[in-house]
């Protein structure tokens, strides 16, 4: 049975699901915030350490990613995300509409947050 664990890293605490696979005799780890990336460990402690290492690597890869766009993902609902161009200009209406659509936020809710 998959159990959720809080994995502490140098970038904060993240969630991972860990379960024991009897056929392979290892603890499998699924990160919930990074497109369900997986790793494993020989013991629960080793699996948690491997999860922390994987999460830190994934965060560092995102931080090092070059380009003019950033991607933001909702911490509780990974289907809610937005890709945003990073520049100092105002966001064009069409791009703002796309961001709201991707992040599943209505215009009314967005305006209420302003």
The model's pLDDT over 66-91, given as tens digits with 9 standing for 90+, comes to: 566 677 777 667 777 777 776 667 87
Is the confidence at residue 99, as pLDDT, over 70? yes
Cβ proximity of 55 and 9 under 8 Å: yes
H helices present in the chain, as ranges: 44-64, 93-102, 107-113
Take residue 68 and report the two structure tokens written for it.
Answer: 């003019």
Averaged pLDDT for residues 95-109: 86
| CA-to-CA dists, residue 17 to 5, 60, 89, angstroms | 6, 21, 40
Note the pTM of the prediction, 2 decimals: 0.56
* Segment 47-68, tens digit of pLDDT: 999 999 998 888 777 755 556 6
The three-class DSSP label of residue 59 is helix
What mean pLDDT value characterizes the chain?
84
């Amino acid at each position: 049975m998959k159990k959720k664990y809080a994995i502490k890293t140098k970038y904060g605490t993240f969630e991972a699901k860990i379960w024991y696979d009897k056929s392979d005799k290892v603890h499998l780890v699924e990160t919930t915030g990074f497109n369900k990336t997986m790793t494993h460990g020989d013991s629960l402690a080793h699996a948690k350490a491997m999860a922390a290492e994987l999460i830190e690597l994934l965060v560092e890869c995102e931080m090092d990613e070059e380009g003019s766009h950033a991607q933001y993902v909702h911490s509780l609902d990974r289907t809610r995300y937005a890709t945003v161009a990073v520049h100092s200009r105002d966001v064009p209406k069409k791009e703002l509409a796309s961001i709201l659509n991707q992040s599943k936020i209505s215009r009314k809710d967005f305006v209420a947050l302003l």
